[in-house]
Copies of this chain bind each other. A is one copy, B any other.
Amino acid sequence: MRATIIHAARDIRLEEVDDLVLAAGLGEGGEPASGRDAIVRVVAACVCGSDLWPYRGVTETKEPRAIGHEFVGVVEQIGSAVTGVAVGDFVIAPFYDCDMTCTNCRNGVSPSCLDGNWWGRPDREGFPTGGAQAERVRVPHADGSLVVVPGPVDEALVPHLLALSDVMGTGHHAAVSAGVGPGSTVAVVGDGAVGLCAVIAAKRLGAERIVMMSRHPDRQALARRFGATDVVEQRGEEGVAAVKALFDDIGPDAVLECVGTAESMEQAILSARPGGMVGYVGVPHGGAELPIRTLFGTNVGVNGGVAPVRNYVEELLPDVLSGAIEPGLVFDLELPLSEVAEAYAAMDERRATKVLLRP
């Protein structure tokens, strides 16, 4: 099978690798996990903003590794203990593996699954899983990780379903973490795919005013289509002032931080009204910690983290199936998997917001 391997910064290659197989085929050590896994043929995958950190060398790639963590696909094989997923099912996978039965999963925090892990790494029992920018993935806890989409699945729905693998659920997590609800006033920092999905989420949860911070006309237009009521192009102190000016110089109830840099987090914290909340989902990069004195003095809270997108699929899927939300519109470029290196380059150079890949 073919899989995407990152060798070093800006060195992304699609390579021929060993086929992934059910753990049961790997010997006695495979039990009992071997019976709970599945092999999924990838129908669509994509490149994440967080994939750009190793691509740009911001995080080090110490040795070649499989990359990619967002996918939808069709189940090809299942282990003997799998009951919730059948061969031929169209499934959505979250950007991590989880069992959905442990305390953390039941508490709504499936990325902290006691028996879970990240795609591309061996599972907890040492069996390979594979990255998602590939032809196949091995899913350790198929009944936990995978959600079956009732079929047949319309081809036009694929991008929207794929968004539930990460960006839509992540934008939703920013909004939920910030307590967005009916009547909320919201600002979104970050006009990438997650920020755009955060606009969808805020609108869906009933926000009455949504400010998108963006300098890109195409992303501004998509944000408005998703429900943004205002756009602010300034950044830094000017950006804070411009956002606050829209709310009587007090600020919005919630700010959704969808980037992960020190600058974007500062922007978010300073833009929120006293007593407001920052919901953050951007993977933190850079050395800055959270400024406790500023937060203390203004009663601005900070909540969020690695989005538990698996916990959100059941809530969001009906709105995707009905067409009420269209998060797949964040994909503005589609390429065959063979052009995965170009997909990274296009996102790195901001020629594309988010690239969908077809094996």
A117 CB to closest chain B CB (Å) equals 14
How far does the alpha carbon of A304 sit from the alpha carbon of B295 in the complex, in Å? Answer: 8
A146 CB to closest chain B CB (Å) equals 22
Partner of A250, one of B104, B111, B280: B104
How far does the alpha carbon of A280 sit from the alpha carbon of B301 in the complex, in Å? Answer: 10
Would you call A304 and B298 a contact (CB within 8 A)? no
> A107 with B296: in contact, given A291-B289, A303-B302, A303-B303 (CB under 8 Å)?
no
Would you call B298 and A292 a contact (CB within 8 A)? no
CB-based nearest B residue for A108: B275
How extensive is the interface on chain A, given as a class? 35 or more
How far does the alpha carbon of A103 sit from the alpha carbon of B273 in the complex, in Å? Answer: 10
How far does the alpha carbon of A108 sit from the alpha carbon of B248 in the complex, in Å? Answer: 17
Whether a CB of chain B sits under 8 angstroms from the CB of A277 is: yes
> A299 with B250: in contact, given A104-B275, A289-B291 (CB under 8 Å)?
no
> A306 with B297: in contact, given A284-B292, A290-B289 (CB under 8 Å)?
yes
Please list 5 pairs of residues, one from A and one from B, whose beta carbons are closer than 8 Å in the complex, sorted by A's number: A104-B273, A109-B299, A265-B292, A290-B291, A298-B305
**Residue ranges of A at the interface with B (Cβ–Cβ < 8 Å):** 103-104, 107-109, 111-112, 177, 248, 250, 265, 273-275, 277, 280, 283-284, 288-293, 295-306, 308
